[in-house]
Every structure is written in structure tokens, then in C-alpha cells.
Amino acid sequence: MWQSISYYAALVLESALGVFGIRIYEEPRYEVIDHLSDRVEIRRYGPRVAVEVQLASADEAERSRAFQLLFRYIAGANRMQASGGNTMAMTTPVEVRDRELVAMTVPVETVDSRDTGHMRFFLPSKYGLDSAPKPENPAVRLAKVPEETIATLRFSGSPTYVAKRKAELVKKLAGTNWQPTSAPYTLFYDAPFTLPFLRRNEAAVAVARRA
């Protein structure tokens, strides 16, 4: 009981700080290997473990449903091997990959039309795929994310212009040493109630060096 009270008390404090863009959550470690501008950088991430929910559509209601399922998982809707539900700290960013095809003017693999897309929370680094609590809801699943190199474009404000920012990122990669290898997606570091001009959002895409 006291564990649950302290957990939710911490969330209240974190939420209050989050209004002003103060982030105290763990973030997956990465190495910046190239800077293309003050907003665009190339990062190399190591392997990570995530929990994810498939998105049936790209609308806001579906994203809200997915977020709630993922939040319930980290808040205790999970099971350890020999005990009950285990609460865990929130992390950032929240990754969102949409299902729509993305048409662009550079060679990019687009997401197949049958792909539903997903929303993903990255788990704290202390968890491996075998040690992470198992989701109670079958709609929630654990995933091993392999090592990858990505390009990111940072922006603030409302996520209304996400599609435009993803297209901008791909355009900025044209003529550089880096070529997109998949469809772009979005990373969100703040809650919806964070003041818009203080939010950290990123358009992202997997990349490889051009031959």
C-alpha cells in the first residue's frame, strides 16, 4: 500500500515539474556521432527494451488509448515471475510510429500499408527482456530494440505539425552523408500539459552512411 502511495505521490511531483519542462525521467543513453545543424543530429543508440501497443489508427483517441495501456503497465498492471505487479519509473521519450505511408523525394523505405504502427515506452536500463515484468494485458507486449543509428530534428510546441517536421528532417538529410533507411517517426519527451514552448519533441528516422 505504502509503495503505491509513494509511487503516485512521485508521479504528482513529476507532473507538476513537467508543466515547466523540467524532466527527471531516465532517458536511453546515446552517442552523438554527427551534427548537421543546431537542431539536427545523428545518434547511435545501444540495444534497449521497450513495452509497446499497436495502433489501429493514427487519430488522437487511439493514441490516448495506447498511452493509457502503457501507463497502466508501468503503474503495476504487470507480473513478476514470483510476485504481484511491479511499479516502475516513467522514462522518456515516448515513441510513436504511425501507420500511414510517407511519400518523399529521397530513397526511403516506406511503412507497408498493412503495418499498424505503435506507441512505445522504453523501460529503465536495469531491465532486460527476460527480467522485465510481463504485461497483464495481451494488447501490451515487450520488445527488444536493437542497436540503431538515427537522425533527429528537435522542435517545440504542439505536435500538430509532426508530419511537416518529419518531412523537414528527411529533406535536411538530402545531400549529406546520411541516408534514411525506413519511414520517419516521432519522439515525445513531455506530457501534453507541458507549456508548448518548453516541450521537447523530435522527428526521427533510422539512417545509414551513404555508400
Tens digits of residue pLDDT in 169-207: 999 999 999 999 999 999 998 877 788 888 889 999 999
φ, ψ for residue 15, nearest 5 deg? -65, -40
Total-model pTM = 0.79
Q: Which domain holds residue 99?
A: 2-209
For residue 116, the one-letter residue type is: T
pLDDT digits (tens, 9 = 90+) for 39-98: 999 999 999 999 999 988 878 888 889 989 998 898 888 886 444 457 777 788 888 886
Q: Please state the φ and ψ torsions of residue 64, each to the nearest 5 degrees.
A: -65, -40
Where are the strands (E) in the chain, listed by range?
A: 30-35, 40-45, 48-54, 78-79, 94-97, 118-122, 134-135, 140-145, 148-155, 178-180, 185-188, 201-209
More confident residue, 96 or 10: 96
Confidence of residue 16 (pLDDT cuts 50, 70, 90): low
What CATH number corresponds to the domain at position 81? 3.20.80.10
Whether the per-residue pLDDT at 24 is higher than 90: the answer is: no
Judged against a pLDDT cut of 70, whether residue 6 lies above it is answered with no
| Residue owning grid cell 529521397 | 106
**How high is the pLDDT of residue 210?**
92
pLDDT by residue (tens digit) across 140-170? 999 999 999 999 999 998 777 889 999 999 9
Evaluate the omega torsion of the peptide bond into residue 196 and state whether it is cis, within 30 degrees of 0: no
* Residue 9 vs residues 2, 70, 106: alpha-carbon distances, Å: 10, 19, 48
Number of domains, the chain: 1
94-97/118-122 β-pairing: antiparallel
CB atoms within 10 A of CB 7: 15
